[in-house]
Structure 1
Amino acid sequence: MKKLILTAVMAAVVAPAAFAAANCPAHPKDQWIKQDVFKKQLTDQGYKINKFKVSGECYEIYGKNKDNKKVEIYFDTVSGKPVKSEVQN
């Protein structure tokens, strides 16, 4: 019983760290790529965006890539480069 409780506690502590948001550098808002422009760039690259949001200092999308795989990607708001991504196989 103690082992089961310890396992549950460890899972509760480790799980949030595994799914922590990306750490994007802070940039002045006037330097950010405009959201509509950035969304267009992503769709031109083959992404299908289901949800687009600002997450801290990052742009974050949920959707599918050009290979039709589900993705969650955080992007730098100035360079547009991916900072963190998760792709489901």
Structure 2
Amino acid sequence: MTWSDSYVGNPKIAKSKGSKRPYNEGGHYIRYSSVEDWVYLLRPGGTYKVSGVKNFKAAVKGFFRAGGANYDYATLGYSGYMERIKARKYGIDK
């Protein structure tokens, strides 16, 4: 996930600015002290709107403001991310 100075997540879980994301994505990753913060974000009513979603495109969209999330999962935005993740999914499915 992309680091942001405004990112909160679960305030009880320590996190910090991690390594740089690839140039074409921009920003930095978040370095978590625990996987619990990731689960916190995915829970029903959490930051991202993916809980219970069974459709790939809808799930990806749920990681971005375009799909109702509180934050964008990656700085390149929903459309840019979707373009890249579809190619990965196609490779995995194949």
TM over 0.5: no
Q: Which of the pair has more CA radius of gyration?
A: 1
Bigger strand fraction: 1
